[in-house]
């Protein structure tokens, strides 16, 4: 977890744990009273004056500490410092209470386990190690003192005198239980931290995508305004000229220019709308990619004939995939259109369908033009980047977005022997994350 994410998590802790901590320290003010009453009862039953005095001191010290923490919370509120101070104070008070009520044979000894678990939840990784080390060291010290008999009156008399073997066994079992409870708390804390890290990483990724998209949209808005400025000026000039020549035969060339400029503006706006609108959910079915390619080739026969370009389909006769046929066809149309425009007269554009790897389908569109311009570098798919005189630079951006919505991609590279090859890569079965309800996938057919 990086420092920025950790700071956000810490702020959330302060926000949501503060009220809980406030209730806890209010309720905790009653613990010293319980300790004082218990010390009197234990002293009466046990008959050892030192135990009553020791437990009384622990009760007074606990009350002073808890009251101080209560006042500080009322004055300053909840802070990270409060967590650390109360962790160590709680451990110290509990260990004093255990010593005063029989040491390893204390009926309160089991309380060290839930406190160790809760401490490992609230403490940092380094602090968890120190707390566990302190608990184990204290347990070892008390065990040595009690088993060796250096303090004969340590066990409670009314509970009998435990054997050395029983004390040693209790110490070992308690130590193992402390390690397990601390490890369990640490695992829960680590899982929580990892979940928070993934949540914030996903949020940061979405924000980065949004910023990138917003930046591209802002840049393209200016680009589109510039692209539309020239044809609009042409249309305006021609319409004014035709208005002045009203009643005269209108030259067919002017009408053709008008129609061409309107079609050009329409194309620019359609590409801009494809870029700006969110990707609508997929409507998937199992389709033959070869048949989709054949349909796209038929639709581009007129454009290819006008450019003097020959279209060919090669490769496997049948490669199926689960996809949205409308969107996949849109990608094919875009790649074909670019290839035809990049081809020289009497050139050739080939479309091949293959399944080079299990679970993966490729549709490659290759032209025999000049190839990918070196100045483009890796920016060919960036919005607004184009080498065409009248291009909007959005076609490849939209094509890659549609392919990636399927869990695939679109690549562009110079082919051996000249020309450029664009490859649409699709999974033959949609990945689980694409099929999740979040993506709104519908199956048809």
Mean pLDDT of 415-419: 84
**CA count, 13 A, side-chain hemisphere, 79:** 11
Mean pLDDT of 94-123: 80
Domain shared by 202 and 60, yes or no: yes
Beta pairing class for 360-366 and 320-323? unpaired
Domain shared by 182 and 72, yes or no: yes
pLDDT of residue 426: 92
Domain shared by 171 and 290, yes or no: no
Q: pLDDT band at 353, cuts 50/70/90?
A: very high
Q: pLDDT band at 22, cuts 50/70/90?
A: low
Closest by CA to 37, choosing from 59, 63, 64, 66, is 59
pLDDT > 90? residue 363:
yes
12 lies in some domain:
yes
223 lies in some domain:
no
217 lies in some domain:
no
Structural domain count, the chain: 2
Summarised one tens digit per residue, pLDDT across range 34-64 is 766 776 677 677 777 787 788 778 878 888 8
Mean pLDDT of 227-251: 65
Domain shared by 287 and 169, yes or no: no
Q: What is the CATH number of the domain that holds 399?
A: 3.30.565.10
Average pLDDT of the chain, as a whole number: 76
Q: How far is CA 323 from CA 284, 292, 319, 403, 443, in A?
A: 5, 11, 12, 10, 9
Sheet of 283-288: strand order equals 320-323, 283-288, 442-443
Alpha-carbon span 211 to 219, nearest angstrom: 12
Lowest mean pLDDT among 12-16, 60-64, 115-119, 410-414: 12-16
pLDDT > 60? residue 259:
yes
Q: Which residues contact 249 (CB under 8 A, 6 or more apart)?
A: none
Exposure of 234 by Cβ count < 10 A (0-12 exposed, 13-18 middle, 19+ buried)? middle
Summarised one tens digit per residue, pLDDT across range 366-378 is 998 888 777 666 6
pLDDT > 90? residue 362:
yes
pLDDT of residue 383: 63
Beta pairing class for 420-427 and 360-366? antiparallel
pLDDT of residue 438: 43
Q: Are 351 and 365 in contact (CB under 8 A)?
A: yes
The phi, psi pair for 152, rounded to 5°, reads: -65, -35
Lowest mean pLDDT among 66-70, 285-289, 302-306: 66-70
Domain shared by 181 and 306, yes or no: no
pLDDT > 70? residue 2:
no
pLDDT of residue 10: 65
Q: Extract the tokens encoding 404.
A: 């990636």
Q: pLDDT band at 3, cuts 50/70/90?
A: low
Q: pLDDT band at 203, cuts 50/70/90?
A: confident
151 lies in some domain:
yes
Summarised one tens digit per residue, pLDDT across range 138-152 is 888 888 888 777 777
Closest by CA to 360, choosing from 402, 322, 333, 314, is 322
pLDDT of residue 401: 83
Query: For the stretch 413-439, what's the b/e string if a residue is b when 16 or more beta carbons lie within 10 angstroms of its beta carbon?
Result: eebeeebbbbbbbbbbebeeebbeeee
pLDDT > 90? residue 424:
yes
Domain shared by 92 and 182, yes or no: yes
248 lies in some domain:
no
Q: pLDDT band at 241, cuts 50/70/90?
A: low
Alpha-carbon span 9 to 1, nearest angstrom: 10
pLDDT of residue 361: 92
pTM beyond 0.75: no
pLDDT of residue 437: 47
Residue finishing a domain among 206, 240, 265: 206
pLDDT of residue 224: 64
256 lies in some domain:
no
Domain shared by 328 and 421, yes or no: yes
Mean pLDDT of 385-399: 64
Higher pLDDT, 248 or 4: 4
Domain shared by 161 and 295, yes or no: no
319 lies in some domain:
yes
Other CB atoms within a 10 A radius of the CB of residue 199 amount to: 12
Domain shared by 174 and 311, yes or no: no
pLDDT of residue 1: 53
Q: Tell me which range, 63-72, 250-259, 429-438, is most confidently predicted by mean pLDDT.
A: 63-72
Beta pairing class for 310-315 and 348-357? parallel
Q: pLDDT band at 300, cuts 50/70/90?
A: confident
Higher pLDDT, 354 or 395: 354
Residue finishing a domain among 206, 224, 254: 206
Bridge partners (DSSP) listed for residue 364 = 352, 423
211 lies in some domain:
no
Domain shared by 192 and 313, yes or no: no
Residue finishing a domain among 191, 206, 221: 206
Q: Tell me which range, 47-56, 94-103, 104-113, 419-428, is most confidently predicted by mean pLDDT.
A: 419-428
Domain shared by 40 and 188, yes or no: yes
Domain residue limits at 104: 3-206
Higher pLDDT, 345 or 85: 345
Domain shared by 193 and 303, yes or no: no
């Amino acid at each position: 977890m990086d420092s920025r994410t950790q700071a956000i998590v810490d702020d959330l802790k302060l926000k949501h744990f503060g009220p809980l901590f406030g209730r806890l320290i209010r309720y905790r003010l009653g613990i010293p009273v319980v300790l004082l009453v218990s010390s009197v009862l234990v002293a009466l039953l046990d008959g050892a004056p030192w135990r009553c005095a020791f437990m009384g001191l622990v009760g007074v010290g606990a009350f002073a500490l808890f009251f101080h923490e209560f006042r500080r919370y009322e004055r300053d509120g909840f802070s990270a410092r409060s967590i650390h101070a109360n962790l160590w104070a709680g451990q110290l008070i509990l260990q004093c209470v255990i010593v005063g009520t029989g040491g390893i044979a204390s009926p309160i000894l089991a309380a060290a386990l839930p406190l160790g678990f809760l401490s490992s939840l609230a403490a940092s990784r380094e602090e968890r190690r120190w707390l566990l080390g302190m608990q184990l060291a204290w347990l070892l010290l008390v065990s040595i003192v009690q088993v060796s008999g250096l303090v004969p009156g340590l066990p409670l008399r009314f509970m009998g005198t435990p054997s050395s073997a029983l004390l040693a066994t209790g110490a070992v079992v308690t130590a193992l239980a402390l390690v397990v409870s601390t490890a369990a708390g640490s695992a829960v804390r680590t899982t929580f931290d990892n979940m928070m890290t993934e949540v914030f990483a996903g949020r940061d990724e979405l924000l980065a995508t949004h910023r990138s998209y917003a930046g591209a949209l802002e840049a393209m808005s200016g680009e589109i305004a510039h692209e539309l400025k020239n044809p609009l000026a042409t249309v305006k000039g021609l319409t004014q000229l035709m208005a002045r020549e009203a009643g005269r035969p209108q030259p067919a060339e002017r009408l053709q220019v008008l129609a061409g400029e309107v079609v050009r503006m329409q194309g620019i706006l359609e590409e801009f709308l494809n870029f700006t609108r969110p990707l609508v959910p997929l409507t998937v079915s199992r389709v033959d990619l070869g048949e989709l390619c054949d349909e796209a080739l038929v639709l581009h026969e007129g454009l290819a004939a006008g450019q003097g370009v020959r279209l060919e389909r090669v490769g496997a006769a049948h490669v199926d995939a689960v996809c949205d046929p409308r969107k996949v066809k849109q990608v094919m149309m875009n790649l074909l259109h670019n290839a035809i425009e990049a081809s020289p007269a009497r050139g050739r554009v080939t479309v091949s369908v293959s399944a080079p790897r299990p679970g993966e389908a490729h549709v490659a569109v290759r032209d025999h033009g000049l190839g990918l311009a070196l100045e483009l570098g890796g920016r060919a798919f960036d919005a607004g980047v184009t080498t065409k005189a009248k291009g909007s630079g959005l076609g490849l951006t939209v094509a890659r977005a549609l392919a990636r919505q399927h869990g695939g991609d679109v690549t562009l590279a110079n082919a051996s022997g000249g020309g450029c090859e664009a490859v649409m890569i699709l999974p033959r079965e949609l990945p689980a994350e694409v099929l999740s309800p979040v993506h709104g996938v519908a199956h048809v057919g």
